[in-house]
Amino acid sequence: MSTDKRINLQQAAEIVKNGSSLTFSGFTIWRRPTAIVYELIRQHRRGLHLIEVNGGPQTEFLVGAGCVDIWESCWVGHELYGKYGANLSRKVAEKKILVEDYSHAEMLFRFTAAAMGAPYAVTQTSLGTDIHNPEYDVLGRAGKRDGKRIGKHKYIFTDDPFFDAGPQVLIPAAKVDVAILCVQQVGDEGTVRASGQLYSDTEVARAADITIVMAEEIVPEAYLRRDADHNTISSFEVDYIVECPFGAHPTGMFGKYDVDGAFLKHFFTTTRTQEGFDAFAKEWIFGLDHIGYLEKLGWPRMLNLRANTALNYKPRK
């Protein structure tokens, strides 16, 4: 039996079906699997349900391209390169997308519950806010709460039955079909070694039914297994691996390359309208493959983003 988990970008995108629920590695503008996200757009995927601990450029690319019907998360933007998700805002105004808001910690705890195999998590965060307003249960209002992949309730309010610590909120596990991760190294049997901050990568990888890991490089398992305590995700939690250098661009990767702030700023300022997004997609997504994209970016630009391997970032001077 073959244990080869290697696939290419096109095959990775094909695993995500129309209507799939999907999540990603990374945090805002860091370590997002952009190369596969672009490929999903090229393949015209539709009806996606994104469930993200937090959003970022990957959300905006997919939402702008019309791939997403439901977005469950807490935040989208480009940090200092773009204050909010202009494509999401436009689709909300046009009522072309359903948005379900949880808080950041709630999203994280929801994935933690799914990763533990538990049906829900309990927390006291965000009590008293409109995040818990029953009128604002958007998926409930849309009749989407089937109790299968989407929980029957957005929240359950209860009181601590064990220690009388007061009001608690129960939040449903984030059950998700596919997680796509973008990391520095993966072994040929799937062991992941991510470096820098780990964000919520271990939780989302374990929560998903299918986990795809795209890495800057695929390395021999034996190399990673010499220092097993440095590894992040175990081999059998990973179903497919893809090698793709600079696959996170324009987001950054610890130890490899910084965020391409100019690219994000340009994206943010030029894609507030659908015409603007379509022009961006025509220029940077359609008609290109990953190598074509890198060629278009060019060596000077990529070298300018390259991290110093001792510092793990590109020093400003």
Partner 1 sequence: MSNYASPEEYGLADLLCCAASQQVQDNEIVFAGTGLPMVAIMLAQKTHAPNLKLIFEAGTLDGRPPELPTSVGDARCETGASRSTGLFDTFSIAQRGYVDLGYLGGAEIDQYGNVNTTCIGNYLDPDLRLTGSGGNPDINSFARRTVFIMVHEKRRFVERVSYITSPGWRVKKWPGGEWVHRRELYGAAFRGGPSAVISTAGVFGFDEEDGHMYLETYHPGKTVDEIKELCQFDLDVSRVKGETAPPTKEELYFIHDVLDPDEIFIPRVKKA
By CB under 8 A, residue 250 contacts partner 1 = no
- The DSSP secondary-structure symbol of 235 reads G
Helix/strand/coil for 96:
coil
Number of amino acids touching partner 1 (CB under 8 A): 77
- Of 18, 19, 119, 127, the one binding partner 1 by CB under 8 A: 127
- Of 14, 75, 170, 289, the one binding partner 1 by CB under 8 A: 75
Q: Provide the CA 169 distance to its chain's centre, in angstroms.
A: 25
Footprint (CB under 8 A) of partner 1, residues 133-152: 133-136, 138, 141
Binding mask 208-247 for partner 1 (x = CB under 8 A): ----------------------------------------
Side-chain-side CA neighbours of 95 within 13 Å: the count stands at: 2
Question: CA of 303: how far to CAs of 33, 57, 294, 314, in Å?
Answer: 20, 21, 12, 10
- Main-chain phi, psi angles of 278, to 5 degrees: -60, -40
By CB under 8 A, residue 116 contacts partner 1 = no
Within 10 angstroms of residue 311's Cβ, the number of other Cβ atoms is: 9
- Of 109, 120, 263, 277, the one binding partner 1 by CB under 8 A: 109
- Of 142, 165, 279, 303, the one binding partner 1 by CB under 8 A: 165
Torsion of CA 61, 75, 122, 239, to 10 degrees: 20
**CA-wise closest residue to 309 among 263, 259, 253:** 253
By CB under 8 A, residue 260 contacts partner 1 = no
By CB under 8 A, residue 46 contacts partner 1 = no
- H/E element, 9: helix 9-15
Q: Per CB under 8 A, which region of 4-12, 38-46, 182-190, 253-261 contacts partner 1?
A: 253-261
By CB under 8 A, residue 61 contacts partner 1 = no
Q: Per CB under 8 A, which region of 35-43, 84-92, 205-213, 239-247 contacts partner 1?
A: 84-92
* CA 129/CA 101 separation, integer angstroms: 11
- Of 58, 103, 191, 235, the one binding partner 1 by CB under 8 A: 103
What b-and-e string marks burial along 141-173, b requiring 16 or more CB atoms within 10 Å of the CB? eeebbeeeebbebbbeeeeeeeeeeeeebbbbb
* CA 78/CA 2 separation, integer angstroms: 41
By CB under 8 A, residue 123 contacts partner 1 = yes
- Name which of 131 and 288 has its Cβ closer to partner 1: 131
- Name which of 89 and 231 has its Cβ closer to partner 1: 89
Closest distance to partner 1 from the beta carbon of 7 (Å): 26
By CB under 8 A, residue 29 contacts partner 1 = yes
By CB under 8 A, residue 273 contacts partner 1 = no
* CA 204/CA 238 separation, integer angstroms: 11
By CB under 8 A, residue 269 contacts partner 1 = no
Closest distance to partner 1 from the beta carbon of 287 (Å): 31
- Name which of 130 and 227 has its Cβ closer to partner 1: 130
Please say whether the beta carbons of 50 and 20 come within 8 A.
no
- Name which of 132 and 290 has its Cβ closer to partner 1: 132
**CA-wise closest residue to 157 among 147, 146, 165, 167:** 167
By CB under 8 A, residue 265 contacts partner 1 = no
